[in-house]
Chains A and B, each alone.
Chain A
Amino acid sequence: MSDVQPRIEVKDLVVRYGDAVAVDNVNFSIAPGELVTLLGPSGCGKTTTLRAIAGLENPSSGSIRLNGQTVWSGTERRNVPAEKRGVSMVFQSYAIWPHMTVFENVAYGLRVRKAPQSEIKASVARVLEMVQMQAYADRPSSNLSGGQQQRVAVARAIAFSPNVLLFDEPLSNLDAKLRAEMRVELRELQRRLDITSLYVTHDQEEALAISDRVIVMNKGKIEQIGSPEELYNRPVSLFVADFVGAANMIQGQVKGTAPDGSLLFEATGGITLEVEAPPAGGGGSVVALRSSYIHLTPMPETHNAVPGTIHRRMFHGDFIQYVVDWPAGQLIVRRPPTEYYAEGSGVTVSFLPEHCILL
């Protein structure tokens, strides 16, 4: 990746509102064709970062480069206005102009660029077909449904072939089922157009599902950058472990080393677990354990096998969520719907040392 010129490069970016620091020294770069997500709770600075890249927010210091061109730099006193940056954006509110037809909405970016009439027609038709809205071209845009507005907003964003596409929580206003469908479609479209994209969301499931890489942000700072698998399996901080995926946090302390090299962790309640050594070395006092990586069996196992009792069972359809009483308190466990235990029945809880992330 290092030999390819990154499409987006953000260096030491700081955005202040008065005394409050919304974005605090953020650094990342995005390679051509990549889809990277900024993930974090509301107020973590992800949207501000995105808007600063679009040119809608004025940073306080740092620099932003698009396609190797500096579009904002505090030291060079450079600020390329939003309309000259060649990026495109899908807004959370869709921002469909109510006084124009669907066609005019989509054609806007091309008209601004003074494209010939024939090209406008062809391009608009092409992108409307991509989002399956060709039948609506001549409709006024004021009474489209949420999903349709979303499609028009995407069509408008890609119509003028921008270098970079920015998404500001584009799916947050849709209902759950539509959101899941659009997620697939957006990823399909992004792959097909091979367009570099930066996507903002607070929905960790969405972030994991569509991204090549995810940037987890908290309080204006980056917590971790990595592939969805890395974030899920190797969170580097308590925040990431807690925010991404469902995790149990087990308190305790490191007690020594097992014969096979893994660490021994004494959890509250007097049980000893085998855990992986943290990548950075150094031992913490918390083990993060994903709910999906815990097995429930009627009989004892060898590694990290602890007796427990099913406290509560919640059937979710695609999985069952158990609350299991065990010596160190309670564990949240997710099992496939085929693994069915009655509340109150005794089970053995077990998991592999490599799934115990010491933080």
Chain B
Amino acid sequence: MWIAPLLLLVCGVLVLYPLVYLVTESFNIGDAQTFPPDEYGIGNYIELFEEPKVILNTLWVACLATVLAVLFGFIQAWILTRTAIPGRARLERLMQLPYYMTPLIGALSWGVLLGPKTGLLNQVWHSIGFTSDFFNIYTPWGIAWVMALFEGTVAFVMIAASMKSMDPSLEESSRVLGASKLRTALKITLPMVAPGVLSATIFVFAEMLGSFAAAFVLGIPGRFFVVTTAIWEATLSFPPDYGRAAAMGLSLSGAMVLTLGAAKFIMRKGSYATISGKAFRPRPMEVGAIRWLLMAISWGYIVVAVVLPLMALTLTSFERFATVIVSQMRFTFANYETAMAMGSLAPAFANSLLLGIVVATIGVPTIGVLAWIIYRSRMPGRGAMEFLIMIPQAVPRLVFGLGLLWAWINIPIPIYGTLWLLGIAYFTVFMPLGLRTIAGVVMQVDKSLEECARVCGAAWTYQMRTITLPLLRPGLVAAWLLIFIASVRELGVSVFLMGPNSKVVAPAIVNSWLSSSSELSAAMALMQTVMVFIAVAILFRVARRVEGDVV
């Protein structure tokens, strides 16, 4: 098995090489452009606290968004797992959609809907007689709102899981012993669900700390900076302040790792009996007439998080000028024509597609072998291997992009500014995603299924071909699609690594938006969303087939 150490070496270099640069650079207090640095010191870190505004901003937005997202997620989880509203199953499937909308698309479309004065909803507000705006999206509240709609699904999935895995007999026995409905809810249900809610809160908070797109689109115009956008700003200043950016990025990663560690700790300490591996379907409550209200609330989230933004984008993408008043709209296909014709935009789409396909196609078999080694073999050092591959997850993509930028500029191989570098970068940052997806399936496949093949006389390769791979196929396909989707919509790493000859979609959308052509941005955003949703549709089909014949 020479292949395992080789893969480990390659992945290790891919992950650690940029991090080494990032760490070194963060201690560089000399000229930011020279490497290795002339002078070392902790000045960059001290500077962070001399101007605490950025940190406070970040915490403020993260808290706002977390509270909103957990509220959305909790309400949806409660409605969809515990009450008998019509169309529950379909709603539960649709709940995945907001996640695939991406914060970038969300921010762009909510900019169209609630931009000051010109936003569509604000115009409706004016037309019914109000003189001020209904809401200005270019504020911390706006950023939190967009992020909460996106993270709401994440909170939903985590909270719903804890509600679903709760044995209904725990509540039933409380009722039988004479406790009222309310007392049961407070004394039994709430403590059982609390760890799930708490860990969802912390998880969302950690994700919020590292989020970039919404704060970028909605925060920059009002000069409202959070840590990620401040990192971006530092690299654009002249001369670029890579040292400060690296220090900020590493501190951010440290904060995320700490929070996620806390979440894991709470999950383990406080999981009571909720995690028994058994899936219970608690008997849903009959809620009478208010079920229509609950159903409206549930659909309301989908409409606000998916339908409304997409409608706004569609409308804008067909307009000649986005800023005109509703009654004077002129419609055109010109934006789509421009998107496909404009020198740099068509290649951006082609590049993104190409990268998505190539990275997923190379990534899945590679990560598949690694997952098999980590979760199935007895090779020494498997734990270290898993840890290594999961590192990129703890580093915000923007920060990792910074490290990659700095690392690959300094290497004599001329791949900076090419698709090769983007491909390597995508592969590195999506390794955790791939490993998690494939690991889920690998662990579902009972070990004795493979052992039985060996005892029946099959050699390793024969067993892999006839038993292991067919059983893993649905998981591998899902991993391929997830990596493809993630690549097509990637922004954080790409903004640093994109070159004039290697443009990709998400940064191109941002650039076009920066040059204040919101109609063109809308057209491109919509095209990207369509690409993603086609992949999502295939993913759902595959997932349904898996549920059908899982062991």
Binding site for B on A (CB under 8 A): 54-56, 81-84, 86-89, 91-93, 95, 97-99, 108-109, 112-113, 140, 142, 156, 160, 166
Contact = CB atoms under 8 A, between A and B. Distances in A.
A54 B467 CA distance: 19
A98 B454 contact: no
Interface stretch (B245-253, B388-396, B421-429, B443-451): B443-451
26 contacts: A54-B455, A56-B451, A56-B454, A81-B459, A82-B454, A83-B454, A83-B455, A83-B456, A83-B457, A86-B457, A88-B456, A89-B451, A91-B451, A91-B452, A92-B448, A95-B452, A97-B449, A97-B471, A99-B470, A99-B471, A108-B466, A109-B457, A112-B457, A142-B551, A156-B452, A156-B456
B304 to A, nearest CB: 40
A97 B467 contact: yes
B551 A112 contact: no
A298 B377 CA distance: 66
B457 A160 contact: yes
Contact of A99 (B454, B457, B549): B549
- 8 nearest interchain CB pairs? A95-B452, A95-B448, A109-B456, A82-B454, A91-B448, A112-B457, A89-B455, A83-B457
A92 B452 CA distance: 11
Nearest to B456: A109
B458 interface: yes
A84 B456 CA distance: 9
A216 to B, nearest CB: 25
Given A55-B454, A83-B455, A97-B467, 15 more contacts: A54-B451, A56-B451, A82-B455, A83-B457, A86-B457, A89-B455, A91-B448, A95-B446, A95-B452, A97-B452, A98-B549, A108-B456, A113-B457, A140-B549, A160-B456
Interface in B428-453: 446, 448-449, 451-453
Contacts of A142: 549, 551
Contacts of B446: 93, 95
Given A93-B448, A97-B449, A112-B462, A87 B455 contact: yes
Interface size class of B (residues with CB under 8 A): 20 to 34
Contacts of A82: 451, 454-455
Contacts of A93: 446, 448
Contacts of A55: 454-455
Interface of B is mostly: helix
Nearest to A156: B456
A56 B455 contact: yes
A104 to B, nearest CB: 9
Nearest to A89: B455
B527 to A, nearest CB: 38
A56 B549 CA distance: 27
A108 B549 contact: no
Interface string B463-497: 00011001100000000000000000000000000
A112 B451 contact: no
A20 B155 CA distance: 42
Contacts of B471: 97-99
Contacts of B458: 83, 108, 112
A292 to B, nearest CB: 38
Nearest to B459: A83
- Which of A56, A81, A83 has the most B CB atoms < 10 Å from its CB? A83
- Which of B455, B467, B471 has the most A CB atoms < 10 Å from its CB? B455
B451 A95 contact: yes
A93 B456 CA distance: 16
Contacts of A91: 448, 451-452
A97 B458 CA distance: 14
Given A91-B448, A112-B462, A81 B455 contact: no
A72 B399 CA distance: 53
Contacts of B449: 95, 97
B332 to A, nearest CB: 52
A335 B182 CA distance: 54
A95 B470 CA distance: 15
A83 B456 CA distance: 6
Contacts of A81: 454, 459
B67 to A, nearest CB: 44
A140 B456 CA distance: 20
Contacts of A95: 446, 448-449, 451-452
B377 to A, nearest CB: 12
B456 to A, nearest CB: 4
A285 B550 CA distance: 56
Nearest to A86: B457
A97 B468 CA distance: 10
Contacts of A87: 455
A196 B458 CA distance: 22
A255 B458 CA distance: 63
Interface in B90-138: none
A88 B551 CA distance: 22
A112 B456 contact: yes
Interface string B319-334: 0000000000000000
A98 B454 CA distance: 17
Contacts of A89: 451-452, 455
B112 to A, nearest CB: 48
Contacts of B550: 98
A83 B470 CA distance: 20
Nearest to A140: B549
Interface in B259-318: none
B298 to A, nearest CB: 33
B446 to A, nearest CB: 6
A195 to B, nearest CB: 15
A95 B458 CA distance: 15
A108 B467 CA distance: 10
B305 to A, nearest CB: 36
- Which of A86, A92, A108, A140 has the most B CB atoms < 10 Å from its CB? A108
A217 B449 CA distance: 27
